[in-house]
Amino acid sequence: MFNGRPRGTHAVTMKIMPNRHPHQDLFEDYAFDRLSGNEAAGFEEHLLICEECQATLAKTDEYIQVMKAATAAFVAGHGRASLPRRGQDLRWNAAFAAILLLTCLTGLLSWRTPSGNPQAIPLDAYRGAPNIPQAAAGQPLDLKIDLKDIPPASGYRVEVVDASGRRVWFGGPPAHLAKGLPKGDYWVRLSTDSGEWLREYGLAVGESHR
Amino acid sequence: MRKMEIIEGTAIQVEEQVEEQLEEVETHESESYAEWVELVDRIRLSETDGMEELYQLFSKGIRFYLCRQLGPQELDDKVHDTFVVVVQAIRRGELREPSRLMGFVRTIVRRQVAAHIDKVVHTRRDQIDLDSTVRLADPEENPEERAMFSQRTDMINRVLGELSDRDREILTRFYLLEQGQDQICSEMALSETQFRLLKSRAKARFGELGRKRLTHRALHAVIVRTSAALSH
């Protein structure tokens, strides 16, 4: 006991206090959205009035972006073997087995229910193109993306989202959607491997012509 | 016995210092809260200097938060709109505890962000027929900034190859795969302390190797220029 109070009662356990700068580790935790609700609240309240911590967070954000891009480029340049494997062999094997099984099932279903030749859908780079690209629902799609004026990158990714922004397909080019898309309006987004967004195209999927 | 006495004495000194610091913090916080209460009163009374002070206090933070969440487009308008909402809410008496002014402002700012995102999603849905090709707003608008980003990325990529496999794995897991500390420590058999030390060391190593590379490049550039000059 000390001063009539038990030891540790007022121990400095709070890392975040409105008038105190957060601990350095918390900036990355915040950037990765790993703080609890209360921790994030305290952190953001401090940020509202502290320019020093705003600058620190901005630098942290930049560092994370650069590290993401650099590690992605390293992995892309050195192949999948450079991805961490320790402790994940079982998971990778299970994942691989699941993918293989799914591929076999998909192939079997495709054989039993022919879906027709894929529709080639050119996605133009020019603004004001006369018509928004159209596709038939449920038909396989080959999205041909015009790479004119695209900055060079070690790799590209294609993401297809519906009108509410929900991802419905993701992969690298060529963008081959084996099962096509349901009827609706979509956005096709092109980005680099490191996540830098480059282009976005509209795509309207109408009634099936089967 | 003597050692135990010394250790206990040191522990008591440390605890005394902590107690003093906590009391100092509590005093400081009490003063801050009193200032919040006084500021809120002035805003409720529509005193101009109160609103000016509120703006000076929060505008940079609000701007920073909105820019980070929504990007730089129309930022001035968004900051202004948020400030107006804050002031109007305070005048309507929605801030029940003036000492919680920062939390109140934070809540309003977050609501503004959510409302803006909701509006953008609906606008896009309605405007899908207007333009079939849209270029996304690039957060790094400045070509010079893009070039610098690209250079830094390239440099770190090369430096990554010079790290140990273990250090590189930690950084790849943490930054690219966005794995948390617990998962990385569990899968790589590291303690929390080891993880933090290794990550910090890797980060420091980047700085060291990066500086060496930049120095080497600078020296190389000087040598090339000198050789070129001598050859003439």
B149-176 confidence digits (pLDDT tens):
787 778 777 778 888 888 888 889 999 9
Amino acid at A97: A
pLDDT in the model for residue B213:
53
pLDDT in the model for residue B25:
65
**Strands (DSSP E) along chain B, which ranges?**
133-134
**A106 shares a domain with A183:** no
**B104 shares a domain with B45:** yes
Nearest CA in chain B to A152: B150
Pairing of strands A156-162, A184-192: antiparallel
Domain range for residue B14? Answer: 2-126
How far, in Å, are A127, A185, B57, B136, B148 from residue B130 at the CA level? 10, 13, 41, 15, 35
A173-190 confidence digits (pLDDT tens):
677 787 788 888 888 888
**B179 shares a domain with B80:** no
From CA B136, how far away is CA A192, in angstroms rounded?
A: 13
* From A118-132, B57-71, B78-92, B115-129, the region with the lowest mean pLDDT: A118-132
Rounded average pLDDT over B124-146: 58
**B201 shares a domain with B114:** no
Residue A174: asked if its preceding bond is cis (omega within 30°), the reply is yes
Q: Is residue B132 part of a domain?
A: no
Q: What letters, b where the CB count within 10 A reaches 16 and e where it falls short, cover A152-181?
A: ebeebbbbbbbbeeeeebeeeeebebeebb
Q: Is residue B46 part of a domain?
A: yes
**B107 shares a domain with B7:** yes
**How many whole angstroms from its chain centre is CA A51?**
30
Domain range for residue A47? Answer: 1-83
- Greater confidence, A68 or A95? A68
B57 and A88 within 8 Å at the Cβ level: the answer is no
Report the mean per-residue pLDDT for chain A. Answer: 71
Dihedral of the alpha carbons of B110, B114, B120, B126, in degrees to the nearest 10: -160
- Greater confidence, B40 or B24? B40
pLDDT reading at A31 higher than 80: yes
pLDDT in the model for residue B109:
94
**B167 shares a domain with B217:** yes
Assign residue A168 the CATH number of its domain: 2.60.40
Cα Rg of chain A (Å, integer) = 25
How far, in Å, are A146, A185, A187, B65 from residue B78 at the CA level? 35, 29, 26, 11
Do B95 and B51 form a contact (C-beta atoms < 8 A)?
no
pLDDT reading at B220 higher than 80: no
**B149 shares a domain with B57:** no
Assign residue B164 the CATH number of its domain: 1.10.10.10
- Greater confidence, B197 or B27? B197
**A195 shares a domain with A129:** yes
| Cα-Cα-Cα-Cα dihedral sign, residues B144, B149, B155, B158 | negative
Instruction: Choose, out of A12, A74, A90, A198, the residue to mutate when testing the contact with B (most B CBs < 10 Å).
Output: A74
pLDDT in the model for residue A8:
31
B107-126 confidence digits (pLDDT tens):
999 999 998 888 887 777 66
Question: Chain B closest CA to A110's CA: distance in Å?
Answer: 32
pLDDT reading at B81 higher than 80: yes
Listed residue (B10, B17, B29, B188) closest to B102, CA to CA: B29
Given pLDDT bands bounded at 50, 70 and 90, which one contains residue A147?
A: low
A·B CB contacts under 8 A: 161
**A108 shares a domain with A79:** no
pLDDT reading at A26 higher than 80: yes
**B99 shares a domain with B74:** yes
Domain termination residue (choose one: B126, B158, B189): B126
Looking at the DSSP bridge assignments, the partners of residue A3 are none
**A92 shares a domain with A79:** no
B 134-173 → A contacts, CB under 8 A:
134-136, 138, 149, 152-154, 156-157, 160-161, 168-169, 171-173
Amino acid at B102: M
Do A156 and A193 form a contact (C-beta atoms < 8 A)?
yes
**B81 shares a domain with B107:** yes
Residues in chain B: 232
The number of folded domains in chain B is: 2
Nearest CA in chain B to A154: B154
**B50 shares a domain with B20:** yes
Given pLDDT bands bounded at 50, 70 and 90, which one contains residue A90?
A: very low
**B162 shares a domain with B211:** yes
Listed residue (B103, B108, B107) closest to B83, CA to CA: B108
The number of folded domains in chain A is: 3
pLDDT reading at A106 higher than 70: no
A128 and B131 within 8 Å at the Cβ level: the answer is yes
